[in-house]
Amino acid sequence: MQRFFYVLGNDKEGKALAKELRQSRSVRVDARYISPENLERRMLRRAERGESAPVIEEAIVTLSGAERKRVTEYLRVCETHCRRTYLYPSFDDTLLFQQQNLASVAGLPLIEVPSGDPRTPYLLLKRLIDIAVASVALVLAAPLLLVVALAVAFTSPGGVFYCQERLGRHGKPILIRKFRSMAYNPEADKGPTERAKPRDARVTPVGRFIRKYKLDELPQLLNVLRGDMSLIGPRPLWKTFFEENGEKTTLWKRRLAVRPGLTSLLHVQGNSFAKAGDFLRYDLIYINNLSFMNDLRILMKTIRIVLGGKGGDA
């Protein structure tokens, strides 16, 4: 079956690449150079007419020089309208991508770009592991949960739990609970509080201890059981945080492609107070490399960090 590719990128390079694909004698390939704006207009006209694509349409992005800064915009358009998207790598790209992402079309080396919604058989196993581990952890940690709840209740006024609305998979609002680690503030009930900072004065003495050992996060095991969260994944975002940063780059939407996690790559490699850009970098690296072994490494590192009392600087 003949494959059809839209080629997007620098005018000269894109047209040359499309011509090379059309002239291939090794495989049946057709290709057409197009700008992202024209691709979107083409797809809009097709939708208005109720037409479907005559063939499976794929895309190749080739960018270099000053145009390289538009790569996110190009990939967004391709991901929206094409079955698969590939990047024709620059020489610098070849130093960064691993061989398992390599694809070859008509002899050209291409890097397959992961879709916004990860498709891997591991996601089913990941969910089963979440249910099993969260169930066992809740039973074993029940006495500890009771002790923490009593300590919070008897050492500062206010409720035992602090509830927050966050964004789950695909941006669905979810309600998460933590053991309250800050002094109770009635004004906070009217909206989200300011994010905690290192050595935040609002944190109570008991709160400082449970933050250090990540005990304040334990109630979120219930979110894991319900399917709102996973044991491992990007931390659940505040809606306001997403709105403030999501307008700067569409890559924040890709971060919502998986269930948020109780712990994350950011927590074991970086820190909770990372700037927004690094926050996103860690999470995209995790999503693009979903695997059992990577989750196991993060879980083991999390256990070492928590037992060592290095869970956070409150």
Residue 194: how many CB atoms within 10 A of its CB? Answer: 8
Q: How far apart are CA 196 and CA 159, in angstroms?
A: 18
Residue by residue, pLDDT tens for the chain (314 residues) are 688 999 999 888 899 999 999 988 777 889 999 999 999 999 999 988 888 888 889 999 998 877 888 888 888 889 889 988 999 988 877 777 766 678 888 888 998 887 767 777 888 999 999 999 999 999 999 999 999 999 999 988 888 998 889 999 988 999 999 999 888 764 454 455 566 666 677 888 898 898 888 899 999 999 999 999 999 999 998 888 888 877 666 778 888 889 999 999 988 887 766 777 888 889 988 988 889 999 999 999 999 888 887 765 43
As to burial, measured by CB atoms within 10 angstroms (0-12 exposed, 13-18 middle, 19+ buried), residue 204 is: buried
As to burial, measured by CB atoms within 10 angstroms (0-12 exposed, 13-18 middle, 19+ buried), residue 82 is: buried
The pLDDT assigned to 187 comes to 47
The pLDDT assigned to 269 comes to 86
Q: How far apart are CA 108 and CA 16, in angstroms?
A: 13
Q: Strands 57-62 and 3-9, how do they pair? A: parallel
- Both tokens of 45, joined, read 């006209």
Bridge partners, 105 (sequence order)? 108
Residue 185: how many CB atoms within 10 A of its CB? Answer: 11
Q: How far apart are CA 166 and CA 234, in angstroms?
A: 12
**Those residues with Cβ within 8 angstroms of residue 257's Cβ, 6 or more apart along the chain or in another chain:** 116, 117, 118, 169, 170, 287
pTM: 0.76
Burial 235-262 (b: 16+ CB within 10 A, else e): bbbeeebbeebbeeeebbebbbbbbbbb
Instruction: Please give the backbone phi and psi of residue 55, each rounded to the nearest 5 degrees, phi first.
Output: -140, 170
As to burial, measured by CB atoms within 10 angstroms (0-12 exposed, 13-18 middle, 19+ buried), residue 160 is: middle
The pLDDT assigned to 314 comes to 39
The pLDDT assigned to 92 comes to 77
The pLDDT assigned to 190 comes to 45
